[in-house]
């Protein structure tokens, strides 16, 4: 599912109001503790009714989150050890 690119003035924010379609374009983020969030999908919400008009499918969100998790697993594990917490539950791979 492809979403239109936001205007260049809104790229830093991540979400924006499309005045033509009267809808908010909102990123869906994967945000492990102590790390910068990475975008895994989008949703489009009607600005008037607040109904979700379109969104990235759940299976696609899961796949993207798993890929990001695998990419950052060592950094995540290190952060948990520094905090004195056990990372074992967090680092188990999400079942598909």
Amino acid 90: pLDDT: 52
What is the reported pLDDT for 10? 44
Report in angstroms the alpha-carbon separations of 84 from 32, 51, 58, 67: 16, 42, 33, 26
Is the model's pLDDT at 57 over the cut of 90? Answer: yes
pLDDT higher for 65 or 4?
Answer: 65
Residue 82: per-residue pLDDT: 79
- pLDDT of the residue at 86: 61
What is the predicted pLDDT for the residue at 76? 72
Sign of the CA dihedral 53, 11, 40, 29? negative
Do residues 15 and 24 lie in contact, with contact meaning Cβ atoms separated by under 8 Å?
Answer: yes
pLDDT at residue 96, rounded to an integer? 47
């Amino acid at each position: 599912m492809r979403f239109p690119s936001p205007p260049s003035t809104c790229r830093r924010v991540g979400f924006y109001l499309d005045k033509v379609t009267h809808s908010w374009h909102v990123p869906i983020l994967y945000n492990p503790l102590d790390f910068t969030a990475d975008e895994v999908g989008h949703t489009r919400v009607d600005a008037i009714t607040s109904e979700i008009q379109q969104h990235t499918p759940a299976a696609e969100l899961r796949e993207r989150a798993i890929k990001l998790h695998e990419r950052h697993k060592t950094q995540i594990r290190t952060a948990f050890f520094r905090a004195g917490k056990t990372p074992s539950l967090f680092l188990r791979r999400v079942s598909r």
